[in-house]
Homo-oligomer: A and B are copies of this chain.
Amino acid sequence: MELREHAIDAARERELDARAVDRLVFFSDAVIAIIITLMVLEVRLPVLPEHVGEAEVLRAILALWPKYLAVVLSYLVIGLFWTLHHRRFNWVRRVDATLVWLNLLYLLAIACVPFATSLTAEHPGRTSTIVYAGVLGLATMISGLLWRHVGRRPEIMASATASREMHLATLMSVASAGVFVVSIGVAFSSSNLAQYFWVLVFFANRAARYVYDWRHAGDRAAPDA
């Protein structure tokens, strides 16, 4: 009987922990949903004279294309950030204060993406490119700190294999941050080139995964040796 009560208590605590994680994820999702949606909603036509001709309306729409391009690119980048954030939080079983605050700082950095996006679209050039790279570099660095924190606290991880996943997440964050820092350098020679350079973040993440697989292949062989 006592054993059973103990099991019920443990179950209740695990449920409270799970709820705390769910809420943090929910809050992050809500913030990212607002950021991503408002960024798209902000693409507006400039105010035109009331009875303007079809040709002018068409021209005004087409003149928005650099804004479209920037917003769609940012949408996909934040989308990638969101999917990674999500998948990795499956490995988190409990939240502590450091995790909550690192997550809040992470969301703050993501919330600066629309500013950088609109700057890039309206005043394309070196400054805007550096600001954009800086914002994403900051976001990925905070992300790296966050997953490194989780990876070092066995008590907040969901399982024994989580620590490896967190190691991978840290590597991927550092790789992404690296792309953005390098792109700041690239921006000094050509800001257009630096913008295309950001697409590399997709590949840098894959590269980090290969590095991780290669390392842990060795790890797994080692114990038998």
Asked whether A111 is an interface residue with its Cβ less than 8 Å from the other chain, the reply is yes
Chain A 90-126, CB-CB to B under 8 Å as 1, else 0, gives: 1000000100110010011001101100110011011
Question: How many copies altogether?
Answer: 4
Which A residues lie at the B interface, using CB under 8 A? 16, 19-20, 23, 25-27, 29-38, 40-41, 43-45, 48, 52, 54, 57-58, 61, 72, 75-76, 79, 82-83, 86, 90, 97, 100-101, 104, 107-108, 111-112, 114-115, 118-119, 122-123, 125-128, 131
- Nearest chain-B residue to A89 (Cβ)? B23
**CA A2 to CA B159, docked complex, whole Å:** 20
Known: A35-B37, A35-B41, A100-B83. A57 touches B111 (CB 8 A): no
Residues of chain B contacted by A107 (CB below 8 angstroms) = 36-37
Whether the Cβ atoms of B26 and A123 lie closer than 8 Å is: no
What's the least CB distance linking A164 to chain B, in Å? 18
- Nearest chain-B residue to A130 (Cβ)? B58
**CA A2 to CA B75, docked complex, whole Å:** 47
Known: A57-B125, A57-B127, A57-B128. A37 touches B79 (CB 8 A): no
What's the least CB distance linking A202 to chain B, in Å? 12
Whether the Cβ atoms of A79 and B104 lie closer than 8 Å is: yes
